[in-house]
Amino acid sequence: MKQSPSPTPDPDLAASRLRAAGLRSTRQRKALAALLFDSVGQECRHVTAEALHTEAVKAGIQVSLATVYNTLHQFTLAGLLREVVVDAGPSCFDTNTRDHHHLYNEDTGELTDLPARRIRITGLPRLPAAAEVSRVDVFVRVRRRTK
């Protein structure tokens, strides 16, 4: 029988991930961490709070949308996730916290990772004396060809 790519919650793995990030390991945090990071067949993911909430409910996890929002922001502050804002829509949370850029499909809203080494950035403007570059985010926006 073919195994579906359903989440395989591993409370021990999720708990140790939370501890390593300095977060207290609550039941809901462990369940959401398992969904985000430990699903079979998942590499890096870009999820909105709404999508993760839907996924959690389907997996039988009792959690409110507000708790999902709060947890995603706590995970981001702890360095487990990176928040990605493309347009005025809902934030996306990225499980890939390494240096990278994104391909953004304007037709579907899909985000795909682009390795940082695939894009060369030159000519950054002079920065204010007290400032340093923390990160440069590049979004390559694509859409279906019209011709």
Helix axes 27-37, 49-58, angle to 10 degrees: 100
**Is 76 or 96 the residue whose CB approaches Zn ion more closely?**
96
67: which 2 tokens?
């708790």
> Site residues for Zn ion, window 109-128 (CB under 5 A)?
113
Binding-site string for Zn ion from residue 72 to residue 111, where x marks contact by CB under 5 A and - marks none: ----------------------x-x---------------
In the bound state with Zn ion, the residue whose beta carbon lies nearer, of 25 and 96, is: 96
Would you count residue 55 as binding Zn ion (CB under 5 A)?
A: no
Name the residues that contact Zn ion, by CB under 5 A.
Answer: 94, 96, 113
